Amino acid sequence: MFEMTKIAGALLMPLTLVFLAAAGGLALLFTRRWRWGRGLLIGALAALFFFSWTPTARLLIAPLESRYPPLLEPAALDEEIGYVVVLGGGHRADPSLPVTAQLNPSATIRMLEGVRIHRALPESTLIFSGGSVFQPVANAEVMRRVAEAVGVDTSRVVLHDTPRNTVEEARAVQRRVEAAGGGRVVLVTSASHMPRAVALFRGQGLDPIPAPTQHRVRESAGEGFLFGGWRPSANALRISELAWHEYLGLAWARLRGWTGAPEE
């Protein structure tokens, strides 16, 4: 099931769908249905422009990123925090590179935010989560190595190095919290991923405090009009695909009954 969801998710990404439509249109050009082929090619080109356009990317990802505010002052929390949980963000194990270059950007930013919050809450336990999906070493272990390499005291760091996706991470945290007799959890992940992560953690009976990071929609005072923000770009396409992935993931989680009750 895990492998099937990965394959299905890859096939349903906008760029894959555009490529398949274009390939089908190209094939039809050499048949009696060439008009259908021309229509498919035009539609594929229009879809590629749509998903590669910055306003589209912002429109898709902004509702996800704005769902929960960032945790700017963790020390001001008026309750005792037991755990700061950093969800995995991927890596590429390559011994020829320094360990800081092996983490994906998402994992690096999540790890740094988790360390920042953990330092503000020194009595908390920092949990790095993430298994070894298609890699010889777990993502949680690579995050620990990077944290240690930059001088973080890892004596209060715990690894969840077997979960392969977010629902498995939520289950692992729930088991640890239950075994410890309870404890409030601060949840660290990318802002676009936070709505799905919170829903899955609530589905396990937890009520995490969201600490989103890696916001892709960021306002800058005095930025003014930039033509580059209105032309198609690979970065906008990447953001559109990230948002699309999260909407698909939320729909799948709700279909499987993995999510908790939504907030009022």
Q: Where are the domains of the chain?
A: 2-64+229-254, 75-214
CA quadruple 106, 98, 157, 139: dihedral sign: positive
pLDDT for the residue numbered 8: 82
Percent of the chain with pLDDT over 90: 82
The CATH class given to the 75-214 domain equals alpha beta
Indicate the pLDDT class of residue 225, thresholds 50, 70 and 90. very low
pLDDT in tens, 32-78: 999 999 999 999 999 999 999 999 999 999 999 999 999 999 999 98
pLDDT in tens, 155-214: 999 999 999 999 999 999 999 999 999 999 999 999 999 999 999 999 999 999 999 999
**CA dist., res. 200 & res. 254, Å (int):** 9
Q: What percent of the chain has pLDDT over 70?
A: 93
The residue assigned the tokens 């503000």 is 120
Q: How many other C-beta atoms can be found within 10 angstroms of the C-beta atom of residue 86?
A: 32
Q: Is the pLDDT of residue 151 over 80?
A: yes
Poorest-pLDDT segment among 51-60, 95-104, 120-129, 215-224: 215-224
What are the residues whose beta carbons fall under 8 Å from the beta carbon of 138, sequence distance 6 or more? 130, 131, 132, 159, 161, 162
Instruction: Answer whether residue 28 shows pLDDT above 70.
Output: yes
How many residues would you count in the chain? 264
The CA-CA-CA angle for residues 258, 253, 217, to 5°, reads 125
Residue 129: pLDDT band by 50, 70, 90 thresholds?
very high
Q: What is the CA radius of gyration of the chain?
A: 21
| pLDDT at residue 10 in the model | 84
Cα separation values, 181 from 140, 146, 190, Å: 24, 30, 28
Q: Are 79 and 184 in contact (CB under 8 A)?
A: yes
Query: What's this model's pTM, rounded to 2 decimal places?
Result: 0.90
8 Å CB contact between 26 and 41: yes
Question: SS3 letters for the chain?
Answer: CHHHHHHHHHHCCHHHHHHHHHHHHHHHCCCCCHHHHHHHHHHHHHHHHHHCEHHHHHHHHHHHHCCCCCCCCHHHCCCCEEEEEECCCCECCCCCCCHHHCECHHHHHHHHHHHHHHHHCCCCEEEEECCCCCCCCCHHHHHHHHHHHCCCCHHHEEEECCCCCHHHHHHHHHHHHHHCCCCEEEEEEECCCHHHHHHHHHHCCCCCEEEEECCCCCCCCCCCCCHHHHCECHHHHHHHHHHHHHHHHHHHHHHHCCCCCCCC
